[in-house]
Amino acid sequence: MATVIVALGGSLLRPELDERHTWLESLIGIVRDRVAVGDRLGLVVGGGAAAREGIALARPLIDSEDRLDRIGIAATRLNAAIVREGLADAGIPVSGTIPRSVNEAAELLEGRQVVVMGGTRPGHTTDAVAIRLAVAAGAERCVIATNVAKVHDSDPRSNPDAEAHDRLTHAQLQEIVGPPEHSRAGPSQVVDPVGVDAARRAGMPLCILDGRDTERIREAIEGREFGGTVVA
Ligand code: UTP
């Protein structure tokens, strides 16, 4: 029995792919299996395409990153609703509401085995929410399910020689993602630097992996080798 928090990058709910339904189904299957053995799971869902779209539409009209962040948060809560309703429909004991703060989520997790949430307030992304929830709930680890296999020392899309890391310390990861600041609403680093700072202060282990392959998410929840980057 373990308590694990999983940040599900919104890009995993890719609108362009038919397989996203299969992906959601297998995610629900993993949650069902882990609930059956007594785990507690917090799922924090990112905004993905809905956040990108909403922020892009509003940016020319709105001159405030906090306001744009709030549009991103609305998108994360939409995606969280999709995941929450899917789990509830599958008969999984998931909390009835989508909490608006980390403290509220940690309290709900005491009474329910599964809690699903999105973002909370401006100034960070759902990675940071997941890491703070992991700390507040006394979780064993925080899984960051994104769309790259491992953390690289520079962006592998622009640098073909970028080196992939199997293991990093929190300080090394902070060095890679940069100082804990949230400068702009919308697309960001492989892991939110604000979240990395929170993980470093609390000594919270992070498992960063390619969530498109749901088996990796299962392995990381179970504390097994998962083929991504371990930060400890
Ligand atoms: P995401 O957590 O999806 O961040 O939130 P992201 O890094 O841009 O996207 P993924 O996870 O890689 O797909 C979307 C946006 O919503 C706002 C931020 O502007 C963020 O970029 N947000 C989200 C907040 O301001 N606070 C939150 O707690 C969560």
Pocket of ligand 1 (CB under 6 A): 9-11, 46-48, 51, 69, 72-73, 76, 119-122, 124-126, 129, 185-188
- Give the atom of ligand 1 at the shortest distance from the alpha carbon of 123: 25
Q: How many CA atoms lie within 13 A of 224 on its CB side?
A: 7
pLDDT the model gives residue 189: 85
pLDDT digit string, tens, across residues 121-142:
999 999 999 999 999 999 999 9
Q: Confirm if 149 and 133 have CB atoms less than 8 A apart.
A: no
Q: Say yes or no to pLDDT of 14 above 80.
A: no
- Entry pTM: 0.97
pLDDT the model gives residue 183: 80
pLDDT the model gives residue 16: 65
Q: Say yes or no to pLDDT of 17 above 70.
A: no
Read off the pLDDT of each residue in 155-181 and give the average, rounded to a whole number: 93
Give all strands (DSSP E) within 20-126, no chain letters: 40-45, 114-117
- Residue 186 CA, ligand 1 centroid: distance in Å: 6
- Residue 72 CA, ligand 1 centroid: distance in Å: 6
Share the mean pLDDT of the chain. 95
pLDDT the model gives residue 190: 92
- Give the atom of ligand 1 at the shortest distance from the alpha carbon of 129: 28
Q: Which domains does the chain have, with CATH numbers?
A: 3-231 (3.40.1160.10)
pLDDT digit string, tens, across residues 90-120:
999 999 999 999 999 999 999 999 999 999 9
User: Distance (Å, rounded) from C-alpha 227 to C-alpha 207?
Assistant: 9
Q: Say yes or no to pLDDT of 154 above 80.
A: yes
Q: What percent of the chain has pLDDT over 70?
A: 98
